[in-house]
Amino acid sequence: MVTEKENNQITKQANTNSTRRAFLKNSGLTVGGIAIGATFGGLLGNLRGGEVQTEQTPPPVAEVANPNVALMFFTPDEYQTTNAAVERIFPEGENGPGAMELNAAIYIDHQLASQWGVNAKDYRLGPFYKPEPTQGEQIKLLRQDLFRLGLKRLDNYSNENYERQFLDLEAGEQDDVLAAFEEGKAGSISGVSTTEFFKLLRQLTLEGVYADPMYGGNKEMLGWEMRKYPGTRMGYINEIQKKDFVELEPNSLQSHMGHS
């Protein structure tokens, strides 16, 4: 037979269990996650024919990094020196950005890291003679070796004449150093004239400014914009019959993705 004291304990325990169940139920809708509560509330709203409005803060739009802008060959120091050199060959001006902003050094890095950088498709056996002006290069060094050694020679020549590395020189001093390289007056690079390094540097700089952005340079096609070049297009059927001159925004190879 249950005594009055035992009956009171059972009633108290039942009330406690009821309170715990209510707490767990409420926790599932609130503490358990806003997503669960919002979903449950939305379900009830739909069942009742009503609308449930929830305030959501849109996530900040993050700038999408260009995966092409990454070093594959240069060390960080070599990249900085190359950046300084290409900016003197193609400096920023009133017409637009310079080679540094256009990522010409990234283009050079990728080219030197490729098969082209190791002269994979060139005949590489001797003998090697000094070429005539009408002939191509006759150099033992691979392109990537010539460029890397050329960067070292830039710093050595700068230290010899200005007691500073090329990167630390004033713009006019950098121009003088590059002029000495162009004229072959800055010594040699493993038996190769510095003129050969300058020719390679200048060639790659201009390519990095004007090549399709897929190769790492010509950032946002700004190099093409300066030249009013329309880029790569499938055709001009919509423009060819127009009487007025048509200015076209540049297109890169990437713009053709998804087209048949």
Domain extents for the chain?
4-48, 76-227
Return all residues near 133 (Cβ < 8 A) that are at least 6 apart: none
- pLDDT-derived band at 233, boundaries 50, 70, 90: confident
**Three-state secondary structure call for residue 66:** coil
- Is the pLDDT confidence value at 135 over 90? no
Residue closest to 93 by CA, chosen among 229, 226, 235: 226
Q: Are 205 and 86 within 8 A, CB to CB?
A: yes
Q: What confidence tens digit (pLDDT) does each residue in 181-227 have?
A: 999 999 999 999 999 999 999 999 999 999 999 999 999 999 999 99
Q: What confidence tens digit (pLDDT) does each residue in 11-57 have?
A: 555 555 555 555 545 555 444 444 444 444 554 455 555 555 556 77
**Three-state secondary structure call for residue 239:** coil
Q: Are 230 and 249 within 8 A, CB to CB?
A: yes
- pLDDT-derived band at 124, boundaries 50, 70, 90: confident
pTM comes to 0.73
